[in-house]
Amino acid sequence: MTLARSAYRTVVVGGGVIGLYTAYHLHRAGAGPILVLDRGRLSAGGSGRNGGGIRQQWETRSTIRLAREAVAAYRRFPSEFGHNVWFRQGGYLFLAESAAELDRLARVRDAARAEGLTVRLLGVPDIERLVEGIVPGACLGGSYLATDGTLYPYPVLWGLLEELRRDGVEIAYGVEATGVTRDDRGRLDGVLTSDGRRATRTVVNAAGGWAGEFSRRCGLEAPNVATRHEIFATEPMKPFVEPMVVRVSDGLYFSQSMRGELVGGRTVAHRPGTDGGVPSSARFTTSMARALVGLLPRLAGLGVLRAWAGFYDDTPDGLPLIGEDPRLPGFVHANGFGGHGFMLAPSASRRVAQAVLGETTDLDPQEFAPGRFLARGASPRSERLQLG
């Protein structure tokens, strides 16, 4: 693949959902010419490997706000982009097994209510109605938001890609960004790629699981850690569970896709690094199966159809990096989404585009500014409702 131009106004590194949505917002703002680079294939990274969950139940109000905006965007997606993303708002049900976990969910409810979302705390009878066949004594209670849901991730990518290409935005898969160049005053003036150097003043790091690695290759120490998370899908069945079900204690989550497959994962000792390797481990598959059958014994005879893995791009405080890097003006972060990039992509990347254009965003710098890790001491806030 050969790049068309020698210079671009903005180069977006990463052609996943964050990169494509960022390019979309930039293009709408007239900030071309834009180049999107990706070293792999479309949907080869996290955007093509996630379970499609879209939720608005979070501990931090800013994240709830972003998620709420994202839900509205995904509802509009079929008419805006001509692609049916099967965004099914079947709700998200969090299960608590202890009083402490219930308290935590109550705080989530309060935060969501303050943002205008009616999260409800449910008792066991309500939960038994939502999850038919759940084992007695599985939980003490839970929280539920009916407008959360799941979507089919690929058509989101196809819709964005086709829209951008129709409008002449250059998107190059199979071209790797390997670093940035600086002029003699130390300012960013180009990006190095597997197809040579291209001049630009702005580089957006939306490289997902590879974002930390890319920052470091550009000489910027980064807090991002990539971890490998696994997931599996069962044989398709007629619908029997409406919401995405998430257990707080061990991060077990599952939902039933539009095709009828039960898709889910669970927190295990996630292996760091982004080496491809073989996708699945016996430890995950067997412990996930045990957790699922433990919760829903009737599923014992159902077959697991396939298992795979993807990468979370984690940060120490569980919040993403959105905005310009104070050490290198022109280098804009859109990463650190901790496995929840798809949930926040439409709204978070709008802020990324604003940062590229030098506009101020409504984001609290204490929560999202990439420079927050440069100061000594822990971040003042954190988002710990990252599961799976």
Partner 1 sequence: MLGALARGRWPSLARSVRYHRPRGPFCGVGTCTGCLVRVNGIPNVRACRTTVHDGDAIETENAWPSPRFDVFGTLDVLFPRGLDSVHGLRRPAWAIPLYQRVTRRLAGFGRPPSRSSARTPPPPTIRSADVAIVGAGRSGRELAAALRRRGARPLVLERRPSSAVASEAETVAGVDLLGSVTVAILLSPASREREEAGAAHELLGFDDRGGGLLVRTRTVVLATGSYDAALLFEGSDRPGVVTGDLALADLGLPWGETVVFGGGERAREVVERLVDHVVAVAAPGDISPELARAAAERGIPLYPRSRLVRSVGRGHVRAVELARRDGGGHFRLGCRSVVLAHRRLPNAQLVFQAGGARRWADRPGAYYPTIDPTGRSDVPGVFAVGSVARPPEGGAPTPDQVAAAVLGAPAPTGSPPPAPGRSRTGEMIPYYRELLREPRHGKWVLCPCEDVLVDELERAVARGYRGLELGMRYTGVGTGLCQGRYCLPEAIAILAGLEGVPPPEVGVVTQRPPLVPMPLGALAALADAVAEAPGS
- Give the footprint of partner 1 on this chain (CB under 8 A): 41-44, 48, 78-79, 82-84, 86, 88-89, 133, 154-155, 158, 162, 165, 234-240, 258-260, 271, 277-283, 285-287, 289-290, 292-294, 297-308
Verify cis geometry, omega within 30 degrees of 0, for the bond prior to 33: yes
Residue with tokens 């710990």: 384
Query: Closest distance between partner 1 and the C-beta of residue 135, in Å?
Result: 9
Measure CA of the first residue to CA of the last residue in the chain; give whole Å.
36
In contact, 200 and 192? CB cutoff 8 Å: no
Query: Closest distance between partner 1 and the C-beta of residue 88, in Å?
Result: 5
Dihedral sign (CA 19, 25, 27, 30): negative
CA nearest to 20, candidates 172, 149, 188, 145: 172
- What CA dihedral angle connects 111, 114, 115 and 120, to 10 degrees? 70
Query: Closest distance between partner 1 and the C-beta of residue 152, in Å?
Result: 9
Tokens matching residue 195: 């197809």
CA nearest to 278, candidates 350, 353, 228: 228
Closest CB to partner 1 among residues 30, 137: 137
Closest CB to partner 1 among residues 28, 76: 76
CA nearest to 312, candidates 219, 230, 256, 372: 230
Residue with tokens 């999850």: 131
Query: Closest distance between partner 1 and the C-beta of residue 351, in Å?
Result: 26
Query: Closest distance between partner 1 and the C-beta of residue 203, in Å?
Result: 26
Query: Closest distance between partner 1 and the C-beta of residue 283, in Å?
Result: 5
Pairing of strands 34-38, 10-13: parallel
In contact, 50 and 339? CB cutoff 8 Å: yes
Backbone angles phi, psi at 65, to 5 degrees: -65, -45
Query: Closest distance between partner 1 and the C-beta of residue 356, in Å?
Result: 27
Query: CA distances (Å), 13 to each of 40, 90, 265, in order?
Result: 11, 34, 28
Angle subtended by helix axes 153-166 and 17-28, to nearest 10? 30
Backbone angles phi, psi at 157, to 5 degrees: -65, -45
Query: Closest distance between partner 1 and the C-beta of residue 84, in Å?
Result: 4
Residue with tokens 């708002």: 89
Query: Closest distance between partner 1 and the C-beta of residue 261, in Å?
Result: 8
Closest CB to partner 1 among residues 223, 251: 251
Closest CB to partner 1 among residues 31, 293: 293
Tokens matching residue 295: 């919760």
Closest CB to partner 1 among residues 93, 151: 151
